[in-house]
Amino acid sequence: MTLKERISDIFEKYSVELAVEEKEETQEVALMATAVLESGQEIMTDADAFAVGVSAFVVNDEGERIPLPDGDYQLQDGSMLVVAEGAVVEVNEATTEPEVEAEEEKEEEMKAEEVEASSEVLTREAVEGMIAEAIEATKKEFSSQIEERDAKITELSKQATPSISRAPKMEAPVSVDLKSLSITERVAAIHNQFSK
């Protein structure tokens, strides 16, 4: 008998009936508009858009609504909200300011001037002069490195002590006519020749 059958038998024995209760959940769909401040903080309102007279608040981690303190709030889209006593009292839409446009025009002009300056044609003499300067600077650098190396070699050679002893010079063997010598003299001559 399976576990399910055993449980069913127990329920029948004690006349227990299980029923599924269906709860009707009514969820209120709240229309909430959100906006993001320049600082990245998200703010909300119960209305479908931020307008004069609607409440403005932030929601903390616990889900509690905290009204925005009085002040001016710059949104990321460039618009401005003025809040007093937790409600929006003024909404200023984003506008492009003439100053910003003037600055952008100046930046474009400066970029155009930079492009013109970088596209100047160099004469052959100017290029040859630049190459000559680069070669001269490289020569000076190598000369100083060579002088430093020579100074180190000189210093190290002064500090070095002769550590290798030279072997004594061997004298060239004197040729002796061994035929004319006696055996004893021959042995002595050979011995003298190798003992030097």
Residue 162: what pLDDT? 60
Pick the range with the lowest mean pLDDT from 90-94, 114-118, 120-124, 181-185: 114-118
Give the least confident one: 39-43, 56-60, 105-109, 117-121. 117-121
Q: What share of the chain is helix, strand, coil (3-state, %, to 5)?
A: 45, 15, 40
| pLDDT at res. 82 | 93
User: Which stretch of DSSP H or E encloses residue 42?
Assistant: strand 42-45
The whole-angstrom separation of Cα 160 and Cα 67 is: 86
Residue 104: pLDDT band with limits 50, 70, 90: confident
Contact status, residue 78 vs residue 117, Cβ threshold 8 Å: no
Q: What pLDDT sits at residue 115?
A: 60
Measuring CA to CA, which residue among 76, 81, 79 is closest to residue 55?
81
Instruction: State the average pLDDT for the chain.
Output: 79
- The pLDDT assigned to 24 comes to 59
pLDDT of residue 125: 84
Domain ranges of the chain: 33-92, 126-157
pLDDT given for residue 148 in this prediction: 92
Cβ atoms < 10 Å from Cβ of 54: 15
pLDDT at 14: 73
Task: Tell me the per-residue pLDDT of 128-171, one tens digit each, with 9 for 90 and over.
Answer: 888 888 888 888 888 899 999 999 988 888 887 665 556 566 66
CATH assignment, 33-92: 2.40.10
Mark 59-91 as b/e (b = at least 16 C-beta within 10 Å): eeeeeeeeebeeeebebeeeeebebeeebbeee
Question: Is the pLDDT confidence value at 12 over 90?
Answer: no
Q: Which two tokens stand for residue 185?
A: 């003299």
pLDDT at residue 50 is higher than 60: yes
Sheet of strand 71-74: strand arrangement: 71-74, 80-84, 87-92
- Give the confidence band of 7 by pLDDT, cuts at 50, 70, 90: confident
Q: Span 23-33, mean pLDDT?
A: 59
* pLDDT value of residue 159: 80
Token pair 């190290």 in the structure block, residue: 156
Helices (H), 14-163: 98-118, 124-159
Cα distance between residue 44 and residue 75, in whole Å = 12
Q: Based on the number of CB atoms within 10 Å of its own CB, is 33 exposed (0-12), middle (13-18) or buried (19 or more)?
A: middle
Tell me: pLDDT of 93 over 70: yes
